[in-house]
């Protein structure tokens, strides 16, 4: 069979797949008799209300000298690790704002960082295509250099995201610009499973983000420049269990809700979306009103109940707080006192849902806490 014949067959197959996908989308739309917002209104739900002191900036973490790109909380909620363009990982005491560790990185172009479940090690990765593991019990030299305890090398593109498997210090998952995700054995430094790549159900462009389910750690979601999010199961074959369509641009960030059945996405197309893995349906679209150019979403996080969605945008210090049921913006952190002075590039919720941390291109991190004993249901 000639090359021209193969190309022709490939074009026909691609058209067939696209037609089937469109038919499936239309069929799903026919089955959707309502959406989350309409149902919530019918049930008498009203938007979450915020007073002047309901969400306040209680800490500003000063120490980085470059843009902050990533952050992560420890499970016990009292420490935060952040990665910056200044080439350092800093571990903070979230209660006192003090720095407990400042680790100089071999590669300054870091894109992601993560705490291990036991809080004894931190991982990071970036344009060096390696995920580096540092032990916080190691002694730094006079220049602040901490020896790398393990280097997970094997990706053929930049490491865009890394996350430890919940309650497992020996395993973590990375995503990469080589269109794959990898489950690593931290102790051995070897790949346990590869997700995507040569598999037909894998991503067809750079993978930008991963999120592991807390309730079912064998499952994780990935978001990619191919405009899709995909569900994977580490206990099964290394091909996607489900593929979720809807976005018109790169999926920059993904995040599971605490229940493990739903997850959110943030995209370059300016929207956040909510999906359900049980039905495969898109439940809600969160898009700012008012027209104009759509602002890319850089990072998202959910409140402990899932009622609130925090989304950072690539526009100055905009960070909207969405009511996930009604699809309405209920607060903009950028309009609050002591807000960031530049783009909010990353954010994360503490394990107990009591505080939100945001990182920005202004080189600072801020911790936002709910005033009083507010409870969101």
User: Please, which residues have CB within 8 angstroms of residue 318's CB and are 6 or more apart in sequence?
Assistant: 295, 312, 332, 334, 344
Q: Sheet of 272-276: strands edge to edge?
A: 251-256, 262-267, 272-276, 282-286
- Structural domain span for residue 13: 1-30
341 within domain boundaries? yes
> What is the SS3 string spanning 153-196?
ECCCCCEEEEEECCCCCCEEEEEECCCEEEEEECCCCEEEEEEE
Q: Is the pLDDT of residue 292 over 60?
A: no
Instruction: With beta carbons less than 8 A apart as the criterion, state whether 250 and 260 touch.
Output: no
Instruction: With beta carbons less than 8 A apart as the criterion, state whether 351 and 73 touch.
Output: yes
Q: Is the pLDDT of residue 268 over 90?
A: yes
- Give how far the C-alpha of residue 276 lies from the chain's centroid of Cα atoms, to the nearest Å: 17
| Pairing, β 251-256 against β 68-73 | unpaired
What percent of the chain is modeled with pLDDT above 70?
94
Q: Is the pLDDT of residue 160 over 80?
A: yes
Determine which of 30-39, 161-170, 258-267 has the lowest per-residue pLDDT on average: 30-39
Same domain, 206 and 95: yes
Same domain, 100 and 245: yes
Q: 68 pairs with which residues across the strands?
A: 84
In this prediction, residue 317 carries a pLDDT of 87
Selection from 55, 104, 14, 119 nearest residue 357 by Cα:
55
Q: Is the pLDDT of residue 184 over 60?
A: yes
Q: Is the pTM of this model over 0.85?
A: yes
Same domain, 23 and 119: no
Whole-angstrom CA distances from 237 to 39, 67, 208, 234 are 37, 39, 22, 7
10 within domain boundaries? yes
- CA torsion sign for 66, 253, 217, 352 is positive
Q: How far apart are CA 317 and CA 336, in angstroms?
A: 10
Same domain, 109 and 254: yes
Taking residues 244-249, report their average pLDDT. Answer: 93
Taking residues 312-327, report their average pLDDT. Answer: 91
Confidence of residue 144 (pLDDT cuts 50, 70, 90): low
Same domain, 146 and 47: yes
Q: 283 pairs with which residues across the strands?
A: none
Q: How many structural domains comprise the chain?
A: 2
Same domain, 53 and 138: yes
Same domain, 23 and 59: no
297 within domain boundaries? yes
Same domain, 209 and 172: yes
Q: Sheet of 219-224: strands edge to edge?
A: 207-212, 219-224, 229-233, 242-244
Instruction: With beta carbons less than 8 A apart as the criterion, state whether 221 and 256 touch.
Output: yes
Same domain, 100 and 26: no
């Amino acid at each position: 069979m000639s090359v021209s014949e193969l190309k022709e067959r490939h074009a026909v197959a691609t058209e067939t797949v696209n037609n089937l996908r469109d038919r499936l989308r239309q069929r799903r739309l026919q089955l959707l008799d309502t959406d989350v917002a309409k149902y919530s209104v019918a049930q008498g739900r009203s938007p979450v209300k915020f007073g002047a002191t309901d969400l306040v900036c209680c800490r500003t973490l000063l120490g980085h000298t470059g843009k902050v790109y990533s952050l992560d909380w420890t499970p016990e909620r009292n420490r935060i690790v952040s990665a910056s363009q200044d080439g350092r990982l800093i571990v903070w005491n979230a209660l006192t704002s003090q720095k407990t560790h400042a680790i100089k990185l071999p590669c300054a172009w870091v894109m992601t960082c993560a705490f291990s479940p036991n809080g004894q090690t931190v991982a990071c990765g970036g344009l060096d295509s390696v995920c580096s593991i540092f032990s916080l019990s190691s002694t730094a030299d006079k220049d602040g250099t901490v020896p790398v305890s393990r280097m997970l090398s094997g990706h053929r593109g930049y490491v865009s995201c890394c996350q430890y498997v919940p309650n497992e210090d020996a395993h973590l998952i990375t995503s990469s610009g080589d269109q794959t995700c990898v489950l690593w054995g931290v102790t051995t430094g070897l790949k346990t499973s590869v997700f995507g790549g040569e598999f037909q159900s894998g991503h067809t462009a750079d993978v930008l983000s991963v999120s592991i389910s807390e309730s079912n750690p064998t499952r994780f979601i990935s978001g990619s420049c191919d405009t899709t999010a995909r569900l994977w199961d580490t206990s099964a074959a290394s091909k996607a269990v489900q593929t979720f369509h809807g976005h018109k641009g790169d999926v920059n960030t993904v995040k599971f809700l605490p229940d493990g059945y739903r997850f959110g996405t943030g995209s370059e197309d300016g929207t956040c979306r909510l999906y359900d893995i049980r039905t495969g349906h898109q439940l809600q679209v969160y898009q700012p009103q008012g027209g104009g150019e759509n602002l890319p979403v850089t990072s998202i996080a959910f409140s402990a109940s899932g009622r609130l969605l925090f989304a950072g945008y690539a526009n100055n210090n905009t960070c909207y707080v969405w009511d996930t049921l009604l699809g309405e913006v209920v607060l903009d952190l950028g309009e609050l006192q002591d807000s960031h002075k530049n783009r909010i590039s990353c954010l994360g919720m503490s394990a107990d849902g009591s505080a939100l941390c945001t990182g920005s291109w202004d080189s600072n991190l801020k911790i936002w806490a709910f005033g009083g004993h507010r409870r969101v249901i």
